Amino acid sequence: MEKEILWLRPDEKPFEINGFAWFDKEKIYRRLPENPQYKIPEAVDYLADNTSGGVIRFRTDSDVLMIKVKIKEVSGMPHMPASGQSGFDCYIGKSTKEVYCSTAIPDINSKEYERKFFQFEKKEFRDISLYFPLYMGVEDVLVGIEKNSKVAKPSQFKEKGRIVAYGTSITQGGCASRPAMGYTNILSRWLGIEFINLGFSGSGKGEPELAHLITMISKVRCIILDYQANTDYQRYITTLPEFVKILRNRFKDIPIIIISRTPVSIWAFDKKAKTQWEKGYKFQDKFVKEMNKQGDRLIFSYNGSVLFKERWQESTVDGGHPTDLGFLTMAKALYPILKRKLRV
């Protein structure tokens, strides 16, 4: 017998939307303010509509869970599955105990889709986390439950506060097969803390305006900077000190973790290209050591080429962008670092 479905808006209580720092004020699924007070590049403004890092969280006793989605664009990248670009992931369980259930996989050439996450025999309260698409913006989304079911506010995250990650397409989640497999989403589950994903494909280049916008985010416990791959050497050494200065003026006593770019397969054959990126890391490391000498003991430098070297080229889709295996490798490397810095 077909269940009668009640469609609910997740932007209303008792649902909770996490991962969008300005959502409580603006009520739109967007990673930056709709009209930022600082002028940002057009490409960053466009990519801010991509919903990477967003999560719908709630509890329900419904034995059926569905979703109805309207995205702003159809999935267009040939090297990343549509399920990662514009699908939704469903996880069940409390903070740090979430278990993957299923993915709402979109139709390739349609901006709208409706999918069922599950239909169980038993009606009982479950903690639900629905991960937004990593790319294509979400114009509207509805959550469907069995008509006579209840919805309650979600269980709390294990850890209070937020981690902000600023960087590249890899930070954004390219090219995970499904939304929850971006490394910031994996770490959010493992650590039990909200992440704000500010990865902008090819466009997060250390602009000071973005640093100023980050200073507007509340409840920040840690910041990850991972944008070297979007810049050349000259731009990196020019932007990094100013970016950090702006952040530190606002956030006096939280860890700032700077990660140089992850390796690319061509480095095995093109030593000159590798040398250029190594120069950037050496500058980054020297800069951090100088900050340490000046008394800032909460800024840290890590070499992405070392952190993620576990047969890295075998865990990418194109020699640079990780697959799910690559993102899992990144998360495994960063997890103990973040645990130490957050003291959790």
**DSSP string across 287-338:** HHHHHHHTT-TTEEEE-HHHHT-TTGGGGBSSSSSB-HHHHHHHHHHHHHHH
* Residue 274, pLDDT score: 87
* Residue 137, pLDDT score: 94
Q: Which CATH class is domain 5-152?
A: mainly beta
Nearest residue to 11 via CA among 75, 55, 73: 55
- Report the CATH fold assignment for 162-342: Rossmann fold (3.40.50)
* Residue 64, pLDDT score: 98
6's CB contacts (< 8 A; 6+ apart) are 144, 145, 146, 147, 149
Please count the other Cβ atoms lying within 10 Å of the Cβ belonging to residue 234.
9
Question: What pLDDT tens digit does each residue of the chain (344 aa) get?
Answer: 678 999 999 999 999 999 999 999 999 999 999 999 999 999 999 999 999 999 999 999 999 999 999 999 998 899 999 999 999 999 999 999 999 999 999 998 899 999 999 999 999 999 999 999 999 999 999 999 999 999 999 999 999 999 999 999 999 999 999 999 999 999 999 999 999 999 999 999 999 999 999 999 999 999 999 999 999 999 999 999 999 999 999 999 999 999 999 999 988 899 888 888 999 999 999 999 999 999 999 999 999 988 877 678 899 999 999 999 999 999 999 999 999 999 87
* Residue 344, pLDDT score: 76
Residue extent(s) of CATH 3.40.50.1110 domains in the chain: 162-342
Residue extent(s) of CATH 2.60.120.260 domains in the chain: 5-152
* Residue 75, pLDDT score: 87
